[in-house]
Amino acid sequence: MPDAADPAGLPTWVRPLFFAAIVRPALLIGFGLGMRHRERLPQTGPAIVVANHNSHLDTLLLLSLFRLSTLGRVRPAAAADYFGKAGVVRWVTQHLIGAILIERHHEGGRRADPLAPLSAALERGEIVLLFPEGTRGQPEVREAFKTGLAHLARRHAGVPVIPVALRGLGHALPKGEWIPVPLNLYAAVGEAVQADPRNKPAFTAAVEAAIDKLDAELPTSVWD
C-alpha cells in the first residue's frame, strides 16, 4: 500500500524530514533562538495560532516550534497572489510548508469566501497558522490586525486562539530583502485568548493585547 499522505498530498514523513534535516538546523546554525512557553502550543486541532508578521522567516520559525509528529496537522495561511504562482515557489509553499493558499482579491467581479479553506482545515481537526496583519510591515512594528481572524473564530466557536509574539525576524530578514542577517530571534507563546469573537473589535483588540503582552516579555534588543 502507498504511504499515507498529508493534506498537501505528500507522504506524511516528508514535511517532518524537511524540517528536521534542513529548516531546524538552518535556524539553529544561522540564528540564536530564545523561546518562552513552547509547551502552550497546541499539539492537536482544531486550533488557531496567530502571530505578528515581519518576515518570510515567521512561518518557518513557527512551524519549527511544533513537534515533528504534529507538523502534518499544521497549516499556515499564505497569499495565493504571492505564493500561488506556478513553479517552485508554489510547490514548496503547498507541499513542504503545507500552506493553505488564500485568495485576497476579487476574481471575475465575484469575491470568493477567503476563509472557506481555513474553515475546512479546522473542520478536519487541523491547526491553522494566521498572521492577522495580512502582510509584512515595518521591521519590529506591529500593524493593526484585520477582522478576518474574528470572522473565522466566530464561525468556529470553542476553537482555541493561541497568540504568539515574534521578535527579531523583521531585522533578520526584513521585507524586500532575500539575504538573512544572523541575529538572535525570540518567540513567546500565550494562553488561549478569552474573548467573544461575536464582538469583532473587542476580540481583535484582545488578541492584539495578548501579543503585545507577550512581546513585553522578550528582550528589547535583537542583539541580546
Q: Do the beta carbons of residue 65 and residue 187 sit within 8 Å?
A: yes
Entry pTM: 0.86
Place of cell 512594528: 141
Domain extent listing, the chain: 14-217
Each residue's pLDDT expressed in tens, for the chain with a length of 224 residues: 334 555 546 677 888 898 999 988 888 887 878 889 999 999 999 999 999 988 778 899 899 999 998 988 999 998 776 665 767 777 877 788 888 888 766 555 556 788 999 999 999 999 999 999 876 566 666 778 988 999 999 999 999 999 999 988 766 665 655 666 667 888 999 999 999 999 999 999 999 999 999 999 988 654 44
pLDDT at 170: 65
Any long-range contacts for 110-114 (C-beta under 8 Å, 24+ apart)? 114/148
- In CATH, the architecture of 14-217 is 3-Layer(aba) Sandwich (3.40)
Distance CA 60, CA 180 (A): 13
Distance CA 112, CA 100 (A): 15
